[in-house]
Amino acid sequence: MSELPGWRELGAIFHNDRSFVLRIVQPGLAGLMDGSVSTLAPIFATAFATHRSHTVFLIGAASAVGAGISMAFSEGLSDDGELTGRGNPVFRGIVTGLMTFVGGFLHTLPFLIGNVHTALTLAYLVVGVELLVISWIRYRYFKTSFGMSCFQVIVGGGLVFAAGILIGSS
């Protein structure tokens, strides 16, 4: 069985901070941010339009899967890693795609609860935790002020969330 490109270099990545940030943290953070934010509008628009948790769950799961696949290809095809030193494109694509899926799917899970209002309350909480985790990663690895990072991430997420509410309520 042949090895997936990039896996053999994984050990070396974890021993080099710059390499770890370029090859894992940055693509993972981009995916987490995209998944967490880009799926908000379809999920909350569906919740406000239909008031049906099962429907919201299906839309959220489909959005998370679609976003994960899209971001995996986008990252994998955007840079071969030679010029930038960002490593194997297949490996980065997998990291980005998985984290995009996770970011979109986590706030979809509450809609397994039948009561849409309870699910929405829990989903709001999950989104808040996601945004704090994104802010902490930016603070930890990119030396961004935690307060400024929270502000930036909350403004971005808030804009998409508002769009979802406006569209779903019309």
Q: How far apart are CA 159 and CA 170, in angstroms?
A: 17
DSSP 85-113: ----HHHHHHHHHHHHHHHHHTTTGGGGS
Q: Is the pLDDT of residue 15 over 60?
A: no
As a whole number of angstroms, the distance between CA 138 and CA 141 comes to: 6
115: DSSP letter:
-
Asked if residue 117 belongs to a domain, the reply is: yes
> Residue 36 falls within a domain, yes or no?
yes
pTM: 0.83
Residue 3 lies in a domain: no
Task: Give how far the C-alpha of residue 67 lies from the chain's centroid of Cα atoms, to the nearest Å.
Answer: 9
Report yes or no on 4 lying in a domain.
Answer: no
Which residue range(s) make up the domain with 140? 10-169
Is residue 5 in a domain? no
Which tens digit of pLDDT belongs to each residue from 97-154?
999 999 999 999 999 999 999 999 999 999 999 999 999 999 998 888 999 998 988 8
In a domain, 134, yes or no: yes
